[in-house]
Structure 1
Amino acid sequence: MDGSTRSLAAIAAAFTVGLLSSGSASAHPHVFVDARLEVVADDNGYVKQLQNVWRFDEFFSSSVILDYDTNMDNKLTGDELTDIGDTVRDSLGDYDYYTQITDNGEDVKLKKPDVIHADMKDGQLLLFFAAEPAKPLKLSGHLTFGVYDPTLYTAIDFQSDDDIVTMGDAFNQCKKAILRPDPDEVINENQDALTAAFFSDPTDMSKLFATKLDIRCD
């Protein structure tokens, strides 16, 4: 197996549920990420982009080094990091890069990021990228923004409310809140829906457990 094939297998297996050995494997997290999300608005009151930073757990990061360290120097640099970013960019399109937006109840698709930057700091993989709505998104009514894996294979967490922020004067007309659902309350309120089918294919319900930025604008 050459370096590019090995790289694709390593990252795609971590991010793409279709490559898991069984459906039930996606019902609980295998990869853990600390995230930061900056929602940026332009001067005309439209969402310009969502700036993402993801820091992966040390165990997963060490496995990435093993698969991407093509020159065997026990670190990732240059083309090795570029290869990681390119592979994630190609593999997560069907999942909107785990970046979820609703516009007055309707899901909003994202453009493919121009580039996903990868780096290694203190033994942890970092990914940086900016995502843009596929169509103009006005700050009007009720919008939500979140970052989560709908398959539950990757646990994406915001350590504090300060890790989800807005940027731009257009947000001054809006009320903002960070929603952190209580898992016990979600389960109690949705017991009928949380059947065995959910745990083998959690895509439709996983959003109920996700931390979100809730925006309500005039």
Structure 2
Amino acid sequence: MGLAFGLATTAASAHPHVWVTVKSDIAFTPDGKVSAVIHDWVFDEMYSSFATQGLAPAGQLVGKEQFAPLAKENAGSLAEIGYFTTLKIGGKSMDFDMVTDYWMQERPDHLVEFHVKLPLKTPTPITKFLTLRVADPEYFIDFEFDDKEPVKLISAPSGCTANVAKPKPLEASDKQKLSESFFTNLAPGTNFGFKMASAAIVACP
């Protein structure tokens, strides 16, 4: 029932199958280097209902303790695919270190939240700009930044700003093409999900 491999058990007629709302914090060291990306992902109602089945008595929310085994499984399996996260500073891709800070819980609105901190292997200052994308290349999962609080900068140098650039909306005719056969026939490496992904852009003086 993990995020990376268990999502195939959620049935749907066409991509995407799961929707995730993303809030991301970008943390800086005291000397102004980017040190980590901290994600909070909130899953859609259907997946949340699936993920919480049988984990708590009726009427009770599933807490971090009950979710601990699944959170650990997800942290491990997502590490193999980079947590669906692409971080570039000055056009150069950043590598993440081992993850130790992660948890899952059911919120009062019954949606499941997954929290994970991705430390950079090498803290790096922003040169020119930073770009952050969260995307499933196969578009099985649709990641969208939160409308109100998409990206927050923690201890950033003075003058740094963050904005989110959204992709051009699909035309109605294009949406009709997004059938399962369309995705089945995609050539390897097409990375369709990246074309649909928003990008957080951070600039520092």
Q: TM-score range with shorter-chain normalisation?
A: 0.7 to 0.9
Alignment map for 1:78-157 (pairs within 5 Å) = 79-121=65-107, 122-157=109-144
1:168–1:79 CA distance, 2 compared to 1 (3 A):
closer
CA distance in 1, matches of 2:183, 2:83: 27
Matches within 5 A, 1:36-47: 36-47=23-34
Unaligned runs of 5+ in 1: 1-9, 189-194
Equivalent residue of 2:83, what SS? helix
Q: Is the Cα–Cα contact under 8 Å of residues 151 and 201 in structure 1 kept in the other structure?
A: no
Contact 1:51 1:129 in 2 (8 A): yes
2:40 pairs with 29, 53, 57, which one? Answer: 53
Which residue number in structure 1 is paired with residue 5 of structure 2? 16
Counterpart-to-counterpart distance in 2, 1:214 and 1:197: 32
C-alpha spacing 1:114/1:105, structure 2 compared with 1 (3 Å):
same
Aligned equivalent of 1:7: none
Shift of 1:46: 0.4
Higher helix share: 1
Q: Find the partner of 1:167 among 154, 159, 178.
A: 154
CA 1:103/1:62 → structure 2, altered by over 3 Å: closer, same or farther?
A: same
Name the count of aligned residue pairs: 191
Q: Among 1, 17, 20, which residue is 1:30 paired with?
A: 17
Residue 129 of structure 1 and its aligned partner are, at CA, apart by: 1.8
Aligned to 2:198: 211
TM-score (structure 1 length as normaliser): 0.74
Provide the rounded CA distance (Å) in 2 between the counterparts of 1:182 and 1:125: 29
Once the two structures are TM-superposed, the CA of residue 109 in structure 1 deviates from its matched residue by: 1.7
Q: Any gaps of 5 or more consecutive residues in structure 2? A: 175-181
Q: Distance in 2 between matches of 1:117 and 1:197?
A: 33
Q: Deviations over 1:19-48 (max 9, x none)?
A: 959xxx9x8211111111111112211012
